[in-house]
Amino acid sequence: MSRVLIQHYRNELATLRQISGTQRESVVREAFKGRLKGLARARA
C-alpha cells in the first residue's frame, strides 16, 4: 500500500508543479497534505 501512496503523491506533486509552474515548498506541502488525508481515510 505504501508504494501506491508514494506513487499517488508523486503524481499529484507533478500535476501541481505543472499547473502552478513553480517548485516552491508550498506546492510540495499541498501534495503531501493530500496524501496524508488519503492515508488517514484508508486507515479509518
Task: For 3-44, write each residue's pLDDT tens digit.
Answer: 887 888 888 888 888 888 877 887 778 778 887 888 788 877
User: Which pLDDT score is estimated for 40?
Assistant: 84
* Domain, as residue range, for 27: 2-43
The SS3 assignment for 44 reads coil
DSSP class of residue 25 equals H
User: Which pLDDT score is estimated for 1?
Assistant: 58
Q: Considering its fold, how many domains does the chain have in total?
A: 1
User: Which pLDDT score is estimated for 38?
Assistant: 80
CA distances from 42 to 4, 9, 33 (A): 12, 15, 14
